[in-house]
């Protein structure tokens, strides 16, 4: 059980610090011993609120020590910790809160405004616990509100973690696919523990009690890259940056002593830019884990050459808890030239023990690990999904292989390179945008007959959506009108950056939109993202 992880940290590494930028503002310190005690108090409070084994608690919170208390206090009560991404469109939040059957919601005070408008549509939620002190409680019209610190203050720590089987659910994270509703991935106590052990290994995160890790990746993204489990398991200290993701704020938190950090490439592009402009250096940082989407070579080069900070390019998926591979150097790579090493670092590396990979052709035949033959990438392992929550069929095959939806090559040393995505989901600043949602929104316009949304490269956000439309003859709405129309159906940051008019969108033989051909067509027309035009 994950309770064993926090027990270990509190017993053997009690004074290792957790430094957070609190949601109330100031930078505050605690340690593993205190985190465990508060998790025990939360466990007791949840049991008093009527939480039973297997109930689900939804949590919408930034990276702070308080959120870590929840990571242990919720499963400690026998319940399941369902992470909620505040950036989801409210219809999706309503869907996942109801689908997972969240009984209690735990919400940071500044996120009450996200929950308030949708709470009436979530009839199973009995209480909303606002994660702050009494004097910082926001005013709200929601019923059955509780104050986190007030609730915990009523409880002592005289309680054991509720006994569960290691195969019982511990957490849920939803992933948004290309089609249909978000899908729930369930992590068990066993999968989270094995995954944390695997990610801690020297060739992976390489954590130790002497390290201080700062997860910039939110705990609500892909199981928080499991750092909330891996750090205490090794006795590492943590630095929790809270909600302020500006480069200035992240720099301030990194300078609290972070030796390792982790986030999507966009975060690092912005930070590197800030460091250059302000002529700053990072005093303590030794390694930076970059994943979630492909890390540009320039970012790897700048971190390493200019700042002497090693980049660990990583690949993973919500469905894999999430770690799949990390690009650390094997002996064959250590002897290469600096340029050759950078070539290797553009791959996403090799898997830890517990993860197995294979690439196949469309018929399922294994492809050679020659570093050049791309194929469907499959994964299996102790923390790889077998079936989505409440789905009637497995997504893994009878041997446990899960089709990742990515296309990759494997080289003779076992380094994997993502060459493409078979999905068409658009990834902007580490967040998914469903192309289908955008297309559906666009074709809702009376003058649009067909629409195709695709991601185009963007210097800041990795990718931004654009939408290609075919309009009714003689009726061509203005770009602004189309975008305003779409914005009524999707979250603001998901609205495409541009509209392209075409007479015809290319189709495949089976009548589906061919995005490969569409991209090619755009390339031929010399399309450039409006942001990159000077
Ligand atoms: P998520 O479940 O949101 O973490 O998204 C998982 C997907 O992100 C993978 O299936 C890949 O398509 C993509 N991804 C993650 N890491 C990388 C990477 N280092 N390079 C390229 N794509 C990546």
226-282: pLDDT as tens digits: 999 999 999 999 999 999 999 999 999 999 999 999 998 888 988 998 999 999 999
Q: How far, CA to CA in Å, does 341 sit from each of 333, 334, 335, 344? A: 6, 8, 9, 5
Q: How far apart are CA 376 and CA 418, in angstroms?
A: 10
Whether ligand 1 lies within 6 angstroms of the CB of 406 is answered as: yes
CA 106, 111, 113, 114 torsion: positive or negative? negative
Q: Tell me, in angstroms, the distance from the centre of ligand 1 to residue 417's CA.
A: 11
| Mean pLDDT within 485-503 | 93
Phi, psi angle pair for 437, to nearest 5°? -60, -45
Q: How far apart are CA 267 and CA 348, in angstroms?
A: 18
Q: Compute, in angstroms, the gap from residue 292 CA to the centroid of ligand 1.
A: 4
Percent of the chain at pLDDT > 90 equals 77
Distances (CA, A) of 410 to 140, 198, 357: 53, 21, 9
Helices 247-254 & 265-278 angle (0-180, nearest 10) = 80
User: Whose C-alpha lies nearest to ligand 1, atom 15?
Assistant: 292
Residue 512: the pLDDT is 58
Regarding the beta carbon of 378 and ligand 1, being less than 6 Å apart is answered no
161, 225, 432, 461: which one is catalytic? 432
Could you tell me if the CB of 317 is within 6 A of ligand 1? yes
Is 426-533 the same fold as 3-187? no
Q: pTM to 2 decimals?
A: 0.84
Averaged pLDDT for residues 345-364:
95
CA-closest residue to ligand 1 atom 9: 317
Check pocket membership of 291 for ligand 1, CB cut-off 6 A: yes
User: Could you tell me the fold of the domain covering 310-421?
Assistant: Luciferase; domain 3 (2.30.38)
User: Counting atoms of ligand 1 from 1, which one is nearest the CA of 348?
Assistant: 19
First to last CA, the chain: 55
Quote the mean pLDDT of the chain. Answer: 93
Asked whether 430 lines ligand 1 (CB < 6 A), one says no
Which residue has the CA at smallest separation from atom 1 of ligand 1? 317
Q: Classify 471 in phi/psi space as left (phi over 0), alpha (psi -120 to 50) or beta.
A: beta
Superfamily of structural domain 3-187: ANL, N-terminal domain (3.40.50.12780)
DSSP of 61-126, one letter per residue?
A: --BSHHHHHHHHHHHHTT-EEEE--TTS-HHHHHHHHHHHTEEEEEE-GGGHHHHGGGGGG-TT--
Atom nearest to 427 CA in ligand 1: 8
Helices (H), 101-220: 112-115, 148-153, 189-200
Beta bridge partners of 479: none
From the CA of 319, give the closest atom in ligand 1. Answer: 2
CATH architecture of 426-533: 2-Layer Sandwich (3.30)
Contact assessment for residue 42 and residue 76, using Cβ atoms and an 8 Å cutoff: yes
Q: Output the DSSP codes for 387-437.
A: S-TT-SS-SB-TT--EEEEEEEEE-TTS-EEEEEESS--EEETTEEE-HHH
pLDDT in tens, 131-174: 999 999 999 999 999 999 999 999 999 999 999 999 999 999 99
Of 69, 155, 211, 319, catalytic: 319
Residue nearest to atom 8 of ligand 1 (CA): 292
Known catalytic residue at 225: no
Angle at 433 between CA 432 and CA 437, to 5 degrees: 140
Q: Which atom of ligand 1 is nearest to the CA of 313?
A: 19
Mean pLDDT of 199-207: 97
CA of 49 to the centre of ligand 1 (A): 38
Q: Tell me the pLDDT tens digit for each residue of 340-350.
A: 999 999 999 99
Residue 146 tokens, joined: 């509780």
C-beta 263 within 6 A of ligand 1 = no
Instruction: Choose the residue to mutate in 92, 292, 406 for probing ligand 1, maximizing ligand atoms within 8 Å of C-beta.
Output: 292
Kindly state if the Cβ of 347 falls inside 6 Å of ligand 1.
Answer: no
Q: Where are the domains of the chain?
A: 3-187, 310-421, 426-533
Quick check: CB of 402 below 6 Å from ligand 1?
A: no
Mean pLDDT of 404-429: 85
Output the CA torsion sign for 472, 474, 480, 481.
negative
What's the CA-to-centroid distance between 439 and ligand 1, angstroms? Answer: 22
Residue nearest to atom 17 of ligand 1 (CA): 293
User: Does residue 370 carry a pLDDT above 80?
Assistant: yes
Atom of ligand 1 nearest to the CA of 421: 12
Q: What's the CA dihedral at 488, 490, 493, 498 to 10 degrees?
A: -70
Q: Is 480 part of the annotated catalytic residue set?
A: no
Which pLDDT value is given to residue 513?
A: 75
Q: How far is the CA of 402 from the centre of ligand 1 (A)?
A: 15
pLDDT digits (tens, 9 = 90+) for 172-187: 999 865 456 889 999 9
- Is pLDDT at 473 greater than 80 in this prediction? no
User: What is the Cα gyration radius of the chain?
Assistant: 23
For 406-445, b where at least 16 C-beta lie within 10 A, e where not — what string? bbbbbbeeebbbbeebebbbbbbbbbbbbbebbbebbbeb
Expressed in angstroms and rounded, the spacing between residue 29 Cα and the centre of ligand 1 is 33
Of the candidates 300, 287, 234, the residue with the CA atom closest to the CA atom of residue 261: 287
Residue 471 makes CB contacts below 8 A (sequence gap 6+) with: 447, 448, 449, 477, 501
Ligand 1 near 232 CB (within 6 A): no
pLDDT tens digits, one per residue of 39-97: 999 999 999 999 999 999 999 999 999 999 999 999 999 999 999 999 888 998 999 99
Taking alpha carbons only, the member of 371, 403, 367 closest to residue 385 is 403
Name the region of 474 (left: φ>0; alpha: ψ -120 to 50; beta: rest).
left
Structure-token match 């939804």, residue found = 58
């Amino acid at each position: 059980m994950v309770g064993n992880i926090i027990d270990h940290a509190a017993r053997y590494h009690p004074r290792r610090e957790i430094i957070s930028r609190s949601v109330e503002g100031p930078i505050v310190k605690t340690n593993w011993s205190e985190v465990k005690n508060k998790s025990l108090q939360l466990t007791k409070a949840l049991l008093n609120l009527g939480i039973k084994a297997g109930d689900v608690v939804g949590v919408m919170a930034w990276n702070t020590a308080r959120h870590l208390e929840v990571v242990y206090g919720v499963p400690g009560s026998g319940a399941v910790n369902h992470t909620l991404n505040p950036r989801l469109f409210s219809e999706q939040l309503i869907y996942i809160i109801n689908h997972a059957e969240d009984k209690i919601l735990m919400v940071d005070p500044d996120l009450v405004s996200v929950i308030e408008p949708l709470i009436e549509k979530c009839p199973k939620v009995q209480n909303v616990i606002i994660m702050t002190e009494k004097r910082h409680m926001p005013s709200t019209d929601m019923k059955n509100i509780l104050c986190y610190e007030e609730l915990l203050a009523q409880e002592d720590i005289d309680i054991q973690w509720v006994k569960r089987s290691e195969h019982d659910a511990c957490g849920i994270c939803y992933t948004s696919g290309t089609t249909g509703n978000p899908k729930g991935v369930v992590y068990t106590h066993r999968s989270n523990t094995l995954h944390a052990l695997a990610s801690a290994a020297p060739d992976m995160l390489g954590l130790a009690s002497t390290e201080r890790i700062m997860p910039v990746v939110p705990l609500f993204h892909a199981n928080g890259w499991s750092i909330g489990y891996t750090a205490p398991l090794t006795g590492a200290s943590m630095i929790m940056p809270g909600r302020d993701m500006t480069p200035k704020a992240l720099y301030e938190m990194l300078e609290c002593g972070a030796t390792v950090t982790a986030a999507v490439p966009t975060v690092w592009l912005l930070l590197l830019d800030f460091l250059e402009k302000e002529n700053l250096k990072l005093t303590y940082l030794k390694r930076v884990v970059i994943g979630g989407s492909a890390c540009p070579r320039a970012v790897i080069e700048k971190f390493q050459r200019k700042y002497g900070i090693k980049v660990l390019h990583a690949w993973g998926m919500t469905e894999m808890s999430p770690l799949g591979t990390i690009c650390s150097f094997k002996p064959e790579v250590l002897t290469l030239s600096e340029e050759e090493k950078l070539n290797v670092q553009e791959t996403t590396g090799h898997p830890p023990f517990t993860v197995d990979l294979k690439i196949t052709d469309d018929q399922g035949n294994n492809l050679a690990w020659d570093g050049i033959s791309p194929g469907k990438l499959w994964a299996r392992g102790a923390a790889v999904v077998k079936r989505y929550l409440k789905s009637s069929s497995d997504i893994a095959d009878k041997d446990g292989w899960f089709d990742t939806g990515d296309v990759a090559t494997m080289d003779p040393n076992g380094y994997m390179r993502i060459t493409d995505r078979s999905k068409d989901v658009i990834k902007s600043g580490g967040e998914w945008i469903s192309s289908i949602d955008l297309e559906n929104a666009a074709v809702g316009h009376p003058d649009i007959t067909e629409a195709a949304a695709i991601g185009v490269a963007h210097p800041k956000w990795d990718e931004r959506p654009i939408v290609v439309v075919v309009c009714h003859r003689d009726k061509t709405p203005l770009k602004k009108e189309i975008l305003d129309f779409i914005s009524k159906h999707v979250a603001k940051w998901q609205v495409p950056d541009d509209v392209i008019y075409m007479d015809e969108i290319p189709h495949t033989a089976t009548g589906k939109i061919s995005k490969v051909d569409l991209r090619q067509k755009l390339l031929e027309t010399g399309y450039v993202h409006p942001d990159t035009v000077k």
